[in-house]
Structure 1
Amino acid sequence: MTINVRAFFGDAERDFALTDHMIEELERLSDAGIGLIYRRATAMQFGLKDITETLRLALIGAGTPPEEAERLVTAWCRNRPIAETLPLALDVLDARWSGAPAKTSDAA
């Protein structure tokens, strides 16, 4: 199992990882613990910041420079239909909560 997610976001496949440091920042920005953030997301009681900051911080956690992560979220998440970005935010939170299957190489 892994906490990493690889998914198409915007115009390319990208890596997302909600690391411990990024969770602490998400908690600070959301004024809520990770359990409440996860519960709000899964119960459809989230705030917009729960989605945008989860994705921005998970991009940074996976190695995207902060400026690039902000640019990507601004271009592909803000002022877009929530239905486009909520599934990815849930995947990122689920991977951190329960783990995601590790990807295996197709090469033999």
Structure 2
Amino acid sequence: MTTTRIHRFLGDDEYSFDLAPQVVPLEKRLDLGIGEIAQRVVSGRFHHRDLIEIIRFALIGAGTSPEGAKNLIEIFVDGAPVSPVHALANEILSATWDGAEPEPEHQHEPA
């Protein structure tokens, strides 16, 4: 069975990301449909804000508090090199779109 939750390293530890429960709020925030959001990111024609919001909403969707997600973005995404942030956003979108194989749960608790 596939899942939309992935676990990836961000800044100082591994965190869980799951955008699926937050697709509608993401669409409202960016004023774009998920298909257009994904198309922009995959094609490289994205705004940096797209990446930030994908990661932030995916953290929230996986159980991180909105405040915790905002803090992680401020510390580890804002001002970071774009390439690794783009890669993470792509992985989150891929899991949302196609699903991912379930991974063992990690010890890190949501912020």
TM-score by length of 1: 0.91
**Is structure 2 residue 36 aligned with structure 1 residue 43?**
no
Instruction: Provide Cα deviations, 1:32-74, integer angstroms capped at 9, x if missing partner.
Output: 0000000111100111111000000100000001101000001
Runs (5+) with no aligned partner, structure 1: none
Matches within 5 A, 1:62-81: 62-81=62-81
Q: With the length of structure 2 as denominator, give the TM-score of the two structures.
A: 0.89
Q: Measured at CA, do residues 62 and 104 of structure 1 come closer, stay the same or move farther in structure 2, by a change above 3 Å? A: closer
* Match in the other structure for 1:102: 102
Measured on the aligned residues, the alpha-carbon RMSD in Å equals 1.2
Q: Structure 1 segments of 4 or more deviating over 4 A?
A: none
After superposition, the C-alpha distances for 1:67-94 in whole angstroms (9 at most, x for unaligned) are 0100000110011111121111100000
For 2:109, the equivalent position in structure 1 comes to none
Matched with 2:15 is 14
| Aligned length, in residue pairs | 104
Percent of residue pairs bearing the same amino acid type: 37
Q: Which stretch shows the higher mean deviation, 51-60 or 75-84?
A: 75-84
The equivalent of 1:24 in structure 2 is 24
Instruction: Give the equivalent residue in structure 1 for 2:108.
Output: none
